[in-house]
Amino acid sequence: MELISENRAFGGRYLRYSHSATTTNCSMTFSVFLPPFASAEKPVPVLYWLSGLTCTDQNFMQKAGAMRLAADLGMAIVAPDTSPRGEDVPDDENGSYDFGLGAGFYVNATQAPWDKHYHMYSYVVDELPELIEANFPVTRERAISGHSMGGHGALVVGLRNPNRYVSVSAFSPIANPIDCPWGKKALSHYLGDDEQTWQQYDASVLLSKQNHAIPLLVEQGNKDEFLTEQLKPQALVHAAQQSDTQLTLNMHEGYDHSYFFIASFIDEHLAFHAGHLGLI
């Protein structure tokens, strides 16, 4: 790993690193916040945060206001980049924001040319936690959260790996990507035309197929400009009812898709995860 930068924050440390990732076959960047007093003698649990379209590892750390409470709770936060990057990493030929660089959708691509680098699912589930747990004073207790495309990623990762995470939450997630323009574009390019293969990366489909014991919390603003066409949170509610799974969906009057929304309710999500991590 190569240290890019280090800042003091709320008595803890905010660090950015790059490293050569085997899953994505390129250099990856991630941010980590370590709360005060985190040490080899007193390791802390980790909240993994997955960001949305166009974001990097920095957006959440700088805009969400999460580090103050995380410091008090004794919780580390790890935020990876949203896609592989580099000169050899392909991008959307039209330069659109919703596919390619900054838009990895947390899947393992199977279609050329994306299959060489776009393996964000394996990076988030396997490689990054292994790296974090080998190099930082953290435990193997994990929670996961995210926003928009990252909310989709957090739900999918958590539902597919319930033994790896104690809790899952999301802000404004793309809840049913097989049935929205963003999802259809990304999944068809990364995974091909067989829509059956898309279902393994759709939280609503995963949620509907079986009962899940992992705690699920979702936040959504009713003035979100993407609510009706792209996000479709009611698909999650219907899926949870089908499988008799406990899901909390909080709708908020007047809130949009921005980091103002995330910052307004991030403390509730940190407390939610802290409770399941045994911190409160």
The CATH number for 19's domain is 3.40.50.1820
Residue 268 has a pLDDT of: 98
Determine the Cα–Cα distance for residues 67 and 70; give it in Å rounded to an integer.
5
Q: What is the mean pLDDT of each run of 10 residues along the chain (280 residues)?
A: 98 98 98 97 98 98 98 98 96 94 98 98 98 98 98 98 97 98 98 96 97 96 98 98 97 98 98 96
Closest CA to 266 of 215, 195, 217: 217
Specify whether the CB–CB gap between 51 and 146 falls below 8 A.
yes
Say what the pLDDT of residue 262 is.
98
> 44 and 73 in contact (C-beta within 8 Å)?
no
Count the helix, strand and coil residues of the chain and give each as a percent rounded to the nearest 5.
Answer: 40, 25, 40
Question: Does the active-site annotation cover 167?
Answer: no
The residue from 117, 147, 257, 276 that is catalytic is 257
* Contact of 61 with 31, CB cutoff 8 Å: yes
Residue 96 confidence (pLDDT) = 94
pTM, whole model, 2 decimals?
0.97
Catalytic residue among 57, 81, 202, 224: 224
Tell me whether residue 83 is one of the annotated catalytic residues. no
Instruction: Sheet containing 76-80: give its strands across.
Output: 2-9, 12-21, 26-34, 76-80, 44-50, 138-146, 168-171, 216-221, 247-252
Quote the pLDDT of residue 124: 98
Nearest one of 95, 10, 105, 23 to 61, comparing CA atoms = 10
Instruction: Select which of 51, 148, 172, 208 is catalytic.
Output: 148
Residue that has been written with the tokens 């790896």 in this structure: 164
- How many domains does the chain contain in total? 1
Q: Is 257 a catalytic residue?
A: yes
The token duo for 255 is: 């809130």
Question: In which domain, by residue range, is 234 found?
Answer: 2-277
Of 222, 220, 223, 235, nearest to 265 by C-alpha is 220
Alpha carbons within 13 A on the beta-carbon side of 155: 36
Of 139, 141, 140, 132, nearest to 40 by C-alpha is 139
